[in-house]
């Protein structure tokens, strides 16, 4: 155990990068994936990829890439205005894909799903009848017992209707996550998410009436014009519902999003000052939000996630997924074996997204991985470190050693000493935990990307956003 070297590192801290680089919710990022037909191993059959994997505690994720409106900050894989015939075609394709994937998992080893999630997009863009069909696909095609495992579903204020929520509750949903972003109408407009407070409150009431055990509310800080006072007002409006979970997201403006296009008008000379002021605003609001939630009886799980003390754990902890074994269905979903992460093509721009969804709905053959990235031993170590370190409870060194036979300080000395020199690590690690300090957690979106390998970094840099 050499973690105490962190505390003794005295090298001058290199200048820290800007605090908001990117949200690391999965490693490697999808922009590091490539068409597998270009890989020497080619597009391998799923049956071969999953043959030697453990399959007794899989996660199932089904992606519904449809929304009513496109929020200005959103770079997720989703399209707006899907006609009914398209959602039907999409569910038909999901059904075909699920049948093929379940066949590929085989029956030699026990196949069991330990958790399920419907994400998007907005899964509740689907009608109540379509949600029934979606649950049938998960249960009858994949064999997931939705009523006996945690089932998390994302929703939005305008689609969280009583009939849809009743279906989800009856089929076993244990967690509903709603993107509110701000309870201040003007801020919602500034983030290009037009919604009325009254509609948000109505949706929250319906979710509580449905009796689903865990409510998560997503809020965003760093919106143009947002102040400590208005941020506190949004937090208090959320807290009035006593949500079991709250996610506080810093606002990002990324290429090809609605806000990204608006921002193109900023004069280049003013950019650096504007960036610094915005970083400062986001850090201030983050700290104010964190302190308020801690004072209100919430525990910090990660930079973004807060859980009410004593609330049940019904969803993924900030998508911590060092563990492998994820089956993703739908054209924006990722799947993880222990050595390959794969998905379909990815895009942000609406025309490209439409093309990918259309191709998915007409596909007949789902038996091979199309786009992905192999995860070797070095990347597996990085992934474990990264995704554990970004959780407030930190990395258990004994677990790391049991899995890889080394100590994280042997594998990542320069990175960890650099973080320690910046004051981002807590304590000396003598408790067998490698944990971030409060400032380290605040800088999660700078620290995470610093742990990317040179190869992943290069692949991401070479990716052309489309």
Residues interacting with ligand SF4, by CB under 6 A? Answer: 67, 70-71, 74, 76, 78, 120-122, 156, 179
For ligand SF4, give the closer residue by CB, 120 or 394. 120
What count of other Cβ atoms lies within 10 Å of the Cβ of residue 11? 10
Picking from 341, 345, 440, 339, the residue whose alpha carbon sits closest to that of residue 388 is 440
For ligand SF4, give the closer residue by CB, 179 or 315. 179
For ligand SF4, give the closer residue by CB, 82 or 369. 82
CB of 78 to ligand SF4, least distance (A): 5
CA-CA distances (angstroms) from residue 150 to 61, 116, 169, 214, 460? Answer: 12, 6, 12, 10, 33
Greatest extent of the chain over all pairs of C-alpha atoms, in Å: 63
For ligand SF4, give the closer residue by CB, 74 or 235. 74
**Pairing of the two strands 245-250 and 305-308:** antiparallel
For ligand SF4, give the closer residue by CB, 3 or 122. 122
Query: Going by C-beta distance under 8 Å and a sequence separation of 6 or more, which residues neighbour residue 391?
Result: 301, 302, 317, 318, 320
Token output for 350: 């609406």
Q: Answer for the pair 230, 181: CB distance below 8 angstroms, yes or no.
A: no
For ligand SF4, give the closer residue by CB, 134 or 385. 134
CB of 72 to ligand SF4, least distance (A): 9
Token output for 164: 């849809």
51: three-class secondary structure by DSSP: coil
CB of 180 to ligand SF4, least distance (A): 11
Residue nearest to ligand SF4 (CB): 74
CB of 125 to ligand SF4, least distance (A): 8
Q: Answer for the pair 60, 316: CB distance below 8 angstroms, yes or no.
A: no
For ligand SF4, give the closer residue by CB, 122 or 335. 122
CB of 80 to ligand SF4, least distance (A): 7
CB of 203 to ligand SF4, least distance (A): 12
> Is 377 exposed, middle or buried (CB count within 10 Å of its CB: 0-12, 13-18, 19+)?
exposed
CB of 77 to ligand SF4, least distance (A): 9
Token output for 71: 């929020």
CB of 153 to ligand SF4, least distance (A): 13
Q: Answer for the pair 99, 137: CB distance below 8 angstroms, yes or no.
A: no
For ligand SF4, give the closer residue by CB, 20 or 252. 252
d(CA 67, CA 125): 6
Token output for 261: 């296009």
């Amino acid at each position: 155990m050499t973690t105490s070297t962190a505390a003794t590192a005295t090298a001058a801290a290199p200048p820290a990068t800007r605090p908001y680089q990117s949200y690391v919710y999965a490693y490697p990022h999808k922009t590091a994936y490539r068409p597998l037909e270009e890989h020497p191993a080619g597009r391998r059959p799923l049956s071969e990829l999953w043959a030697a994997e453990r399959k007794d505690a899989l996660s199932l994720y089904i992606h519904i890439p449809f929304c009513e409106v496109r929020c200005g900050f959103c770079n997720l894989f989703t399209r707006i205005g899907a006609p009914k015939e398209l959602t039907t075609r999409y569910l038909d394709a999901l059904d075909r894909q699920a049948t093929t994937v379940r066949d590929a998992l085989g029956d030699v080893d026990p196949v069991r799903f330990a958790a399920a999630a419907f994400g998007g997009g907005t899964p509740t863009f689907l009608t109540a009848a379509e949600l029934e069909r979606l649950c049938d696909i998960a249960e009858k095609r994949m064999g997931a017992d939705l009523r006996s495992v945690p089932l998390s579903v994302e929703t939005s204020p305008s689609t969280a209707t009583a009939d849809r929520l009743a279906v989800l509750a009856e089929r076993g949903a244990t967690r509903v996550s709603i993107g509110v972003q701000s309870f201040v109408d003007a801020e919602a407009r500034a983030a290009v998410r037009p919604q009325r407070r009254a509609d948000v409150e109505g949706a929250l009431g319906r979710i509580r009436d449905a009796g689903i055990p865990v409510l998560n509310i997503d809020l965003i800080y760093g919106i143009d014009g947002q102040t400590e006072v208005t941020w506190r007002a949004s937090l208090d409006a959320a807290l009035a519902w006593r949500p079991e979970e709250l996610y506080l997201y810093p606002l990002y403006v990324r290429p090809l999003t609605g806000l990204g296009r608006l921002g193109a008008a900023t004069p280049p000379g003013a950019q650096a000052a504007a960036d610094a002021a915005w970083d400062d605003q986001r850090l201030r609001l983050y700290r104010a939000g964190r302190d308020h939630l801690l004072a209100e009886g919430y525990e910090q799980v990660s930079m973004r996630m807060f859980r009410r003390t004593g609330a049940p754990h019904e969803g993924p902890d900030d998508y911590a997924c060092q563990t492998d074994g994820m089956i993703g269905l739908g054209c924006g979903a990722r799947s993880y074996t222990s050595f390959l992460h794969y998905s379909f093509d990815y895009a942000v721009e609406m025309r490209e997204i439409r093309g990918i969804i259309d191709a998915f709905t007409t596909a007949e053959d789902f038996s091979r991985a199309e786009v992905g990235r192999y995860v070797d031993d070095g990347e597996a170590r990085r992934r474990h470190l990264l995704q554990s370190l970004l959780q407030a409870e930190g990395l258990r060194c004994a677990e790391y050693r049991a899995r890889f036979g080394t100590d994280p300080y042997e594998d990542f000395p320069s990175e960890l000493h650099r973080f320690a020199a910046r004051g981002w690590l807590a304590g000396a690690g003598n408790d067998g935990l490698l944990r971030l300090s409060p400032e380290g957690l605040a800088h999660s979106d700078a620290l995470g990307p610093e742990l990317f390998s040179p190869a992943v970094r290069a692949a991401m840099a070479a990716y052309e956003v489309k």
